[in-house]
Chains A and B, each alone.
With several copies, the nearest count.
Chain A
């Protein structure tokens, strides 16, 4: 079982975890990313390249399933305008082995947070906004990986 959704809507974590628990493994690992507030941030605006996002996230999920003995993988990534405290990303993995579930979950979220084709714009309470710049090392890795 593997499923990827790139969507504007929030999601139901309990339902996602229940589906992973039903995969028959001994363990389910998950990571939920949340928009962090602070420094006057009022919203995070996420843009993406739909056709490429789906293809690339699908490929990285296949990579994870080849590297670890997984029974289930679920990735949900939101786009659009999100307020601090809102969920932005969810990765859940199910395996017979807790190490496989935990490591693959970390692998997927690391990839998503650094290499997934998203662009972020921060909006602040003073009305200003700025595009988040890619960290040099993330950009270098993304190019190295994908060329």
Chain B
């Protein structure tokens, strides 16, 4: 099964301690929120970064999407706080 690349930005990146990782593609029908909940169980940094989904936004293949979006065939998922502009 193809891998899914996850990118982290801003304090999500700081808490997790990495800017990018590859994970196994979750099973068909999994939403971003469900994947985030699963990642949050991985331990300290992940729990801190991903424990409160209210504070998180996401993009699938470089497009902003709501967290209840199904990951489907996307190749790149980005997880980050709300953007603060330039």
* Residues of chain A contacted by B62 (CB below 8 angstroms): 49, 51-52, 55
| A74 CB–B CB distance under 8 Å | no
Residue of B9, B66, B81, B86 near A116 (CB, 8 A) is B86
Contact B83 A117 (CB under 8 A): yes
User: How far, in Å, is A130 (CB) from chain B's closest CB?
Assistant: 9
Residue of A77, A114, A119 near B81 (CB, 8 A) is A119
User: How far, in Å, is A41 (CB) from chain B's closest CB?
Assistant: 15
Which of chain A's residues 98-147 have a Cβ closer than 8 Å to chain B? 112-121, 131-134, 138-139, 142-143, 146-147
| B59 CB–A CB distance under 8 Å | yes
B interface residues, tally (CB under 8 Å): 21
Contact A147 B66 (CB under 8 A): yes
Q: Given contacts A51-B62, A131-B10, A147-B65, is CB(A119)–CB(B86) below 8 Å?
A: no
Most buried by B among A113, A115, A116, A117: A117
Contact B85 A138 (CB under 8 A): yes
The distance in angstroms between the C-alpha atoms of A105 and B7, with both chains bound, is 32
Contact A113 B65 (CB under 8 A): no
* Residues of chain A contacted by B84 (CB below 8 angstroms): 118-120, 131-134, 138
Which of chain A's residues 12-54 have a Cβ closer than 8 Å to chain B? 33, 46-49, 51-52
Binding site for B on A (CB under 8 A): 33, 46-49, 51-52, 55, 77, 88-89, 112-121, 131-134, 138-139, 142-143, 146-147
Closest 8 CB pairs of A and B: A134-B82, A119-B10, A139-B82, A146-B64, A52-B62, A114-B85, A116-B86, A112-B86
